[in-house]
Amino acid sequence: MNQIYLTGIELVQFRSFSKLKVELAAQPSVLIVHGSNGLGKSSLFDALEWTLTDNIDHFRPANGYDKVGKYLCRWRDEPGPTTAAMSFSDGTIIERRLASPQAVTSTLAGIEDVAKYLRADDWKPSIGALNRYLLLTHFLGQSTLSRLTHRSADERFEILKEAAQSAELEAIGIAMHGKGSNAAARAFTKRINELERDVNDHRSLLDQEGELWQGAQASGAIDDEAARALVQQIASALGRGEVVDGRNVPASDGIDTLDDDALQTSIDAAAAAARNRRLAITQSRLVLDEQGRNALDVAQKRAAVAEAERELTTAATLATQVTADAAAKRSEAAATLEALTAARNGHVQLAGLREVMARLAQLQQDRQQAATSLSEAEQSLRGAESEVERVERRRQVLARLEGETITIDGQVLSAREEFDRTVQWLTRSGGLDVLRETLASMERENSSIDQVVAAAEVMLSEARRVADVQGSLLAEMKTSVGALTAAVSTIAANLPADACDCPVCATPFESAEILHGRASLAAQRLAPLLVSQEEASRAAQNALNAAAEQLKAAQSVQTQIRGAREQTLAEQTQNDQLLARIAWPGPADFVGLNAYRLGLVSRLETLQARRERRARWIARLAPDDVGTVADDATRRRDDALRRRETLARSLTDLTAAEQSSATEAATRATSLLPAEPTPLGADRLASAIDAAAEALRRAQEASDAASNVAAELDARAAALQQAGASATAKRKELADQLAQVVSDSQRTRAQWRQLGWSEEGPTPLDLESADQRLAASESAIEEATTLLRRLREGREAWARQQSHRGAFERLRLVADLAPNSQRDQIRAVAQKNLLDKQRLLDATKQAKDIAGLASADIAKDVEDFNAEYILPLDALMKQINRAILCDPRVGIDLHVKRKKIEQSASSNGELPTAIGQIDPLLVHSEGQMAALAVSMLCAANLTYPWARWRALVLDDPLQHNDAIHAAAFADFVGNMVQQKDYQVLLSTHDLGQAEFLQRKFDARRIPCATLSLLGRGKEGVEWVYKNSRLSHEVTAAARPPAASA
């Protein structure tokens, strides 16, 4: 395969790029495009897809997709052409161009057929849709719309069947018949429908001619002349059937038509007139009976109205008299009610005066009691305040003693800590003296330890060298002795029985026995040499072990001396730090610090004595909880203060209420009993209240009696008024009934006019005469109806004969026979034609069924072929999933079902069997689905190697993935580049991710270039391109080995 590589990308005024030119190495490599969102990473890869296919797949659902200039040309003040070009390693340049932002089509330069240029030599299938091939194997978009894992099952099938090349077989099946309403199926259906129409028309014509032939054989046919005579008879009968007595009917004179519908209309009109006249006569009889009943009702209603007038007059007279009596009684009751009200008011006021005087006495008693309680409260308050002052003085003394105690405690703590530090320093100082003596003794005993260690190391090195030499000699001697022994043994074993000459040195021996004996002893003489060397090697090894033990002992002593020095130095440092914390002004003298320690002991004893004295005073002044005692005293004082204030306010209120009640009592007494002296006595007030109660009782009795009489008269007047109202309603009802009866009589006159009579109406004799004339008219109309029926039957027989002649002529024309041909001959030919067309129809239906079955078989074979065709893709995709995701439970299973390739979450994972197949979008995360999309694209690229340009264009392949999966992805991409000679272009918006991938590729010496999109400027996106340091450095022959892709 003549493989090619992308060597250059050049964009001019394409989307966010004003100008971009990138040169790539013509070798397997990686290009990493990095930049923030919205700078143009996806636009760069869209440009590659557009250059090759004149299409950008993920833009398809957008409105205005066909107006490519509007969204591919960079927006600027002076619009111009937009170009995108791709250069390849064989010198070919593919360039696509848009003339302006208004352009809807592009022009291609460089080559004419991109698919033919890219197709590999060993890829035999034709490439019908290049964009589907590239979406299947090369381009992974950032948008999920363009990823196979996120497409619908229909779209996934359409894309994969391009590589399977099953479209032609599918087209053959569709051309034969297919499913649904395709052209082949419609053609079969149309031909079958045409044949069915011909068969049905022939059969219908034969059946129609046969039926009309049977009908034409019936008798009673009436021709036009006989029909006219019969019409005149019908007209005569209708003339006799005309309805008179003031009723108008259609004229029957001059009827001359063969139209049975017109004749039927005339007969129906005459019959309708007769029915109307019959109804008028019947209604006239009913109206005549109603007129008699109305006359009787008018007389009865007038008598009842007169009686109601008399009852109404009597009731009105009685009601007037009773109403006047009731008014007089109501006046009397009002006067007694006023007296009752005055008596009640007087009694109530006297009772109120009594309540005021009682309240005044109670207030005087309460005021005296409140004054006594106030005096007691003031005395309690003074005692409580004295107690609070005494407790407060005790609390102040205790607080001062406790403060002094806390100060002494602090001094004691400080002195004790100083004492502890001093004792610790003295202890450490004694330990330091011991350490110094031990170290001095060790140094005296091992004054030349360093030289001893150095000498021991030299001895060990020499002993190791000697042991190695002796060991090598021993190994070589064992090998030589073994070989010689084997050779001598072989020679001895193979010596001829009579041989006397040594086969090695040709030395002659006296006899064969001597030679055989010397050969047998030769191997034994080699063993002492080997034993001697083994002893020398063992002695060397023993010397090595002794030298090692000697070095180990010397190093142990050296380590002990160093440890002692470090320990002495550490102890001295800690003791110096401890001395710095002791308030000792003199030098680090053991005697002086010991005297300082004794002074600290004396100070601690003095402080302890002072603290004990204050503790005794505290215990004496506060045997109990002083705070609780103080709180109780303060609470008692506050309670006494609040009680005094409450009692003082209560006394003030009671005094004011007493004065108010005394004033009110004097005012009421003066108003109610002006003749009585003040203050009013209780006995005199009780006598006045009893007299007022007696007057109230008498006024109540008089008012009740007058009210009862007035109520009785009102009730009687109301009853009379009700009787008058009932009489009035009855009179009105009777008058309305009389008016209704009169109105019914007037309506009867109108009915006479409507029925064709005078307002006086007909007599019973008039009705009988009209009934007889109507019966004669109905008989004549029945006669005309019978004649019309006879006319219709005869004309129908005549029409059947005429119809048969027409049908027979059409059958003759179909049979294509002469006009004088016989009926049997014509029908035989027509039936033969019908059988021929029926056979053709059956054959066409059978052909349609056969084509349908064949089409179904082809569709099933194509589906089975597609299922088998994607098996390698499915298996390889699972391997790549495990390489990238590192988890065999995450994966996708592909299923071919009719014209769909459905996908489900891998059944090898943790998916329960009961759930069955389920869309992976409902199971896997966004990161896992993104990795699965990469796996499907890479597996398709490896499974269907249709292109000379072996490349992967991956737009943000690591979105939603973590560092572990990113590392696995980098390893996989590296294997694709190193082992499969791939060129990989990928993008990421994460700078750390881009640097990580670059380091991974650099570590494997994979050429890796970077394109950094920095930001938008006035002239479009600003960018920096760094070519790989390893470009042209790694070749196919010198590539380092790596794991399988």
Are the CB atoms for 1030 and 1002 separated by under 8 Å? yes
169 and 86, same structural domain? Answer: no
119 contacts: CB under 8 Å, gap ≥ 6 = 127, 946, 947, 948
Secondary structure, 3-state, 32-83: EEEECCCCCHHHHHHHHHHHHHCCCHHHCCCCCCCCHHHHHECCCCCCCCEE
Are the CB atoms for 107 and 30 separated by under 8 Å? no
164/173 Cα distance (integer angstroms):
16
pLDDT at 950: 93
Residues facing 4 on adjacent strands = 949
In a domain, 781, yes or no: no
758/284 Cα distance (integer angstroms):
12
167 and 81, same structural domain? Answer: no
**Residue keyed to tokens 């034993």:** 531
Secondary structure, 3-state, 428-491: HHHHHHHHHHHHHHHHHHCCCHHHHHHHHHHHHHHHHHHHHHHHHHHHHHHHHHHHHHHHHHHH
**Residue keyed to tokens 């790539």:** 24
719/699 Cα distance (integer angstroms):
31
Nearest to 86 by CA among 1031, 983, 1021, 934: 983
CA distances 843 to 190, 854, 855, 856, Å, are: 14, 16, 18, 20
In a domain, 550, yes or no: yes
153 and 116, same structural domain? Answer: no
pLDDT at 848: 79
Are the CB atoms for 534 and 474 separated by under 8 Å? yes
**Ramachandran assignment for 127, one of left (phi > 0), alpha (psi -120 to 50 degrees), beta (any other):** beta
524 and 556, same structural domain? Answer: yes
Q: In terms of residue numbers, what domain contains 476?
A: 449-580
Domains held by the chain: number: 3
935 and 951, same structural domain? Answer: no
Domain stop point among 525, 546, 580: 580
In a domain, 87, yes or no: yes
916 and 951, same structural domain? Answer: no
pLDDT at 44: 94
Domain stop point among 530, 548, 580: 580
In a domain, 655, yes or no: no
List of the chain residues with pLDDT < 50: 245-254, 1032-1045
In a domain, 890, yes or no: yes
Q: Please tell me whether the peptide bond between 679 and the residue prior to it is cis, using omega within 30 degrees of 0.
A: yes
∠ CA 934-935-937, rounded to 5°:
65
Are the CB atoms for 788 and 263 separated by under 8 Å? yes
Per-residue b or e along 864-886, where b marks 16 or more CB atoms closer than 10 Å to that residue's CB: ebbbebbeebbebbbebbebbbe
3-state secondary structure of 1: coil
How does strand 107-109 pair with strand 93-98? antiparallel
pTM metric for this prediction = 0.41
757/291 Cα distance (integer angstroms):
14
**Residue keyed to tokens 């087209």:** 171
891/935 Cα distance (integer angstroms):
9
As a whole number of angstroms, the longest Cα–Cα distance in the chain is 200
Q: Which long-range contacts (CB under 8 A, 24 or more apart) does 862-868 make?
A: 862/166, 862/169, 862/170, 862/173, 863/896, 863/897, 863/898, 865/164, 865/166, 865/169, 866/157, 866/160, 866/161, 866/164, 866/166, 866/896, 866/901, 867/895, 867/896
Would you state the torsion angle of the CA atoms of residues 178, 182, 184, 185, taken in this order, to the nearest 10 degrees? 80
For residue 126, the 8-state DSSP code is -
The enclosing domain of 537 has a CATH number of: 1.10.287.510
168/290 Cα distance (integer angstroms):
97
∠ CA 364-369-374, rounded to 5°:
125
Residues facing 785 on adjacent strands = none
What element of type H or E holds 711? helix 682-754
pLDDT at 48: 95
Domain stop point among 580, 596, 625: 580
CA distances 50 to 14, 359, 810, 944, Å, are: 11, 111, 68, 22
In a domain, 154, yes or no: yes
In a domain, 434, yes or no: no
465 and 538, same structural domain? Answer: yes
588/575 Cα distance (integer angstroms):
10
Would you state the torsion angle of the CA atoms of residues 961, 965, 967, 970, taken in this order, to the nearest 10 degrees? -80
In a domain, 414, yes or no: no
167 and 53, same structural domain? Answer: no
| Per-residue pLDDT tens over the stretch 244-286 | 544 444 444 445 566 777 878 888 888 888 888 778 778 777 7
570 and 463, same structural domain? Answer: yes
72 and 166, same structural domain? Answer: no
Q: Mutual orientation of helices 823-869 and 183-216 as an angle, nearest 10°?
A: 160
168 and 46, same structural domain? Answer: no
For residue 407, the 8-state DSSP code is H
* Phi (first) and psi of residue 828, to 5 degrees: -65, -45
CA distances 923 to 98, 393, 573, 892, Å, are: 44, 82, 67, 11
838 contacts: CB under 8 Å, gap ≥ 6 = 199
∠ CA 129-131-136, rounded to 5°:
100
∠ CA 591-597-603, rounded to 5°:
145
Helix ranges restricted to H, 581-625:
590-621
For residue 890, the 8-state DSSP code is -
| Per-residue pLDDT tens over the stretch 512-560 | 777 777 767 766 666 666 777 788 888 888 988 998 998 888 888 889 8
The enclosing domain of 24 has a CATH number of: 3.40.50.300
347/707 Cα distance (integer angstroms):
22
154 and 106, same structural domain? Answer: no
